[in-house]
Amino acid sequence: MATAEFLATIPPWAALAPRELAAIAESFTERTVPSATAVFRKGEALEGLFIIVSGQVQIVDPANPGETISLLGPRNTFGERGLIVDGLAQASAIALSDVTLLMLPADDFRRLLERGEEFYAFFARRRAARPAVKTLAETQVAALMSAPPRTVPPEMPIAEAAAILRDERISSLLVVEAGALRGIVTVRDMAARVVAERLDPSRPVAGIMTHDPTTLPADALGSDVLHMMMERGISHVPVAGVSGLAGIVSKTDLTRFQAETSADLIGDLASAPDIEGLAIVADRIPKLLVQLVGAGNRHEVVTRLITDVADTVTRRLLRMAEAELGPPPVPYLWLACGSQGRREQTGTSDQDNCLILSDAMAPGDDVYFAALATFVSDGLHRCGYVYCPGEMMATNPKWRQPLAVWRRYFAGWIAKPDPMAQMLASVMFDLRPIGGEVSLYEGLQGETLEAASRNSIFVAHMVSNSLKHAPPLNLLRGLATLRSGEHRNHLDMKLNGVVPIVDLGRIYALRGRLTAVNTRARLEAAVAAGVVSERGGHDLIDAYDLVAQMRLEHQARQARRGDRPDNFMAPTVLSEFERSHLRNAFVVVRQMQAAATQGHGVM
């Protein structure tokens, strides 16, 4: 493929007129870089801007060995950050395979930036959206933890355990028996439970340990650790790997990261004395949104942190409800669906939730759970998570049922996929446990995905249902705004923006039996599993990133002005360059919707 033809397939070059593109294409040179060879290293003078034609390139920061900043493939661009800043590489780029590159010399790139503000804006947006150094919210705990963990048996005398803490200069020990984690002992336990209580140091360490500590998987985020610490008042979190304990993360491990804003919010929510106190803290969410977006965080990071806040509010309300109503008569599980279930909440969200109850419940037990659901739902409403207009809440008896009933629900929706069943299934495929007995959900998701994916009629109905949400394009592929009502001449960045992509992600998860619930994670998993073509999948991810980011930036602008965030954006706030890219993103969505219908007899 000729250079100009290749450039015409990727932004921002695709926005140029053919004659301009042909002239710029002549400035590019082609280069082949062997596998395991550096394209450039951090601190070196950059020759120019690079675009990958084939192969993979890993962007790494030598200051954090083993930490990948990004993994790039065909049609990805890199090097612009250094060229815009000072001409020096801000990180190292290593070829993971034999790579073919196009290189635009630095002087030509700078002259290109001077052509106009809109072309510069594209690269400036990329620079702001992809920070060179990961934040705590983007860093997996595998890169934070102390490994391997120091373990001791439960029968070890307290004195010996204390000596290990002193001699090895560590702050915690994991108590392990027969390969299983039984507890954790910290320096604070030694002071509070041994010295202060004048306990016999020859007694076994099992007597002072915290039993069955909560663990996190190695792919959890650093923010998950910090939020758990703030919510539960702990300072150490064990990390579980594929084959057992992988390590432990302490507060000390987190001190070099800056995630205090969301963590402080989580901590204040977890200690709020009553619903009014929760509501006062929740009122700070718009400010958090402004800070996170203003700091250049990517949309999936912002929505994850905003959703963490909602999760904490929910769990605090559950504890308050149990304190007022007494212990539950049987185990239960509170689950979120919708945007909270997908961890995609923004500055404006209603509540979508349900309760799965133990099959052991007696006929009169629902009185307790009805009261619990009302308490929590009313509390969420008071904190800004308004009641669901469609009553998709645990206060509705239909969505507060024993596990056996939930199994019948899913089986019935799949067997008879009428329009209502499609809608309900769409919402319930996004379930995520929030508080209670998680084992009540284990197996239900896998069973449902397997049964649904085998039913081609159900899949066809789901695809057909997803097409009801169309991207806002007119016949000439221009942006189509709302024609009437309060939000006339605005784009609905939710129903016509992100929702069509959310629907596609759900369909891919259904077809591939993918357990991811988050939309971006579903799209990435679909590409990896071959459910969708690599090129189409990556185009859709790029389109989703653009639409979701613009939606968040719109809400942040509103919150900064003191207005209540919404999903209705006037195209006039965007430059022509941005509108062009938004149109292109919606075209990708429309094309992927059409591709999703192939082979499924959509009605």
Of 238, 254, 270, which one is at a domain's C-terminal end? 254
- 257: which residues sit within 8 A by CB, 6+ positions away? 135, 136, 139, 222
The answer to the question of residue 12 being in a domain is: yes
- Residues 502 and 384 grouped into a single domain: no
Looking up residue 190, the CATH number of its domain turns out to be 3.10.580.10
- Residues 112 and 233 grouped into a single domain: no
pLDDT value, residue 132: 40
The answer to the question of residue 603 being in a domain is: no
- Residues 182 and 267 grouped into a single domain: no
pLDDT value, residue 226: 84
pLDDT value, residue 259: 43
Mean predicted confidence (pLDDT) in 406-419: 86
Mean predicted confidence (pLDDT) in 5-31: 80
- Residues 275 and 235 grouped into a single domain: no
- Residues 100 and 163 grouped into a single domain: no
Least confident piece of the model among 122-136, 457-471, 484-498: 122-136
pLDDT value, residue 323: 94
- Residues 464 and 555 grouped into a single domain: yes
Looking up residue 98, the CATH number of its domain turns out to be 2.60.120.10
pLDDT value, residue 578: 87
Q: Count the domains in the chain.
A: 4
| Bridge partner residues of 68 (DSSP) | 60
Residues in the chain: 603
Burial 191-208 (b: 16+ CB within 10 A, else e): eebbeeeeeebeeebbeb
Structure-token match 């009428």, residue found: 418
Of 105, 133, 161, which one is at a domain's C-terminal end? 133
- Residues 249 and 264 grouped into a single domain: no
- Residues 495 and 409 grouped into a single domain: no
The pLDDT tens digits of the residues spanning 176-205 come to: 998 889 999 999 889 888 988 889 999 999
pLDDT value, residue 1: 56
The answer to the question of residue 602 being in a domain is: no
Q: Evaluate if residue 385 carries a pLDDT over 90.
A: yes
Q: Evaluate if residue 153 carries a pLDDT over 60.
A: yes
The answer to the question of residue 601 being in a domain is: no
Report the mean per-residue pLDDT for the chain.
85
The pLDDT tens digits of the residues spanning 450-459 come to: 888 888 888 8
3-state secondary structure 362-422: CHHHHHHHHHHHHHHHHHHHHCCCECCCCCCCCCCHHHEEEHHHHHHHHHHHHHCCCHHHH
The pLDDT tens digits of the residues spanning 534-584 come to: 889 999 999 999 999 999 999 988 887 778 899 999 998 888 888 889 999
pLDDT value, residue 129: 40
- Residues 219 and 274 grouped into a single domain: no
The pLDDT tens digits of the residues spanning 227-279 come to: 888 888 888 899 887 667 888 888 777 764 444 457 778 878 888 889 999 99
Confidence at 117, pLDDT banded by 50, 70, 90: very low
pLDDT value, residue 146: 59
The answer to the question of residue 95 being in a domain is: yes
Least confident piece of the model among 261-270, 277-286, 423-432: 261-270
pLDDT value, residue 251: 79
pLDDT value, residue 438: 87
Looking up residue 427, the CATH number of its domain turns out to be 3.30.460.10
pLDDT value, residue 119: 58
The pLDDT tens digits of the residues spanning 343-374 come to: 999 987 889 999 999 999 998 999 999 999 99
The answer to the question of residue 91 being in a domain is: yes
Helix axes 444-454, 403-415, angle to 10 degrees: 10
pLDDT value, residue 123: 66
pLDDT value, residue 62: 66
Cα distances (angstroms) measured from residue 239 to each of 67, 129, 156, 340, 348:
18, 29, 22, 25, 33
- Residues 484 and 561 grouped into a single domain: yes
Say which residue, 68 or 319, is predicted with more confidence. 319
Looking up residue 564, the CATH number of its domain turns out to be 1.20.120
The answer to whether 103 touches 49, Cβ cutoff 8 Å, is yes
The answer to the question of residue 113 being in a domain is: yes
- Residues 315 and 412 grouped into a single domain: yes
pLDDT value, residue 120: 54
pLDDT value, residue 408: 92
Of 72, 107, 133, which one is at a domain's C-terminal end? 133
- Residues 92 and 221 grouped into a single domain: no
Q: Evaluate if residue 336 carries a pLDDT over 50.
A: yes
Contacts of range 158-165, beta carbons closer than 8 Å, 24 or more positions apart: 158/190, 158/194, 158/199, 158/200, 158/201, 158/202, 158/203, 158/204, 158/205, 158/207, 158/208, 159/201, 159/202, 160/205, 161/185, 161/190, 161/205, 162/190, 162/194, 162/201, 165/190
Mean predicted confidence (pLDDT) in 384-389: 92
Say which residue, 40 or 264, is predicted with more confidence. 40
The answer to the question of residue 192 being in a domain is: yes
Domain span at residue 206?
A: 141-254
- Of 37-41, 392-396, 420-424, which one has max mean pLDDT? 392-396
The pLDDT tens digits of the residues spanning 65-105 come to: 455 666 677 878 888 877 777 788 888 888 988 899 999 99
Q: Report the half-sphere exposure of 153 (CA within 13 A, side-chain side).
A: 4
pLDDT value, residue 128: 40
If residue 450 lies in a helix (H) or strand (E), which one and from where to where? Answer: helix 444-454
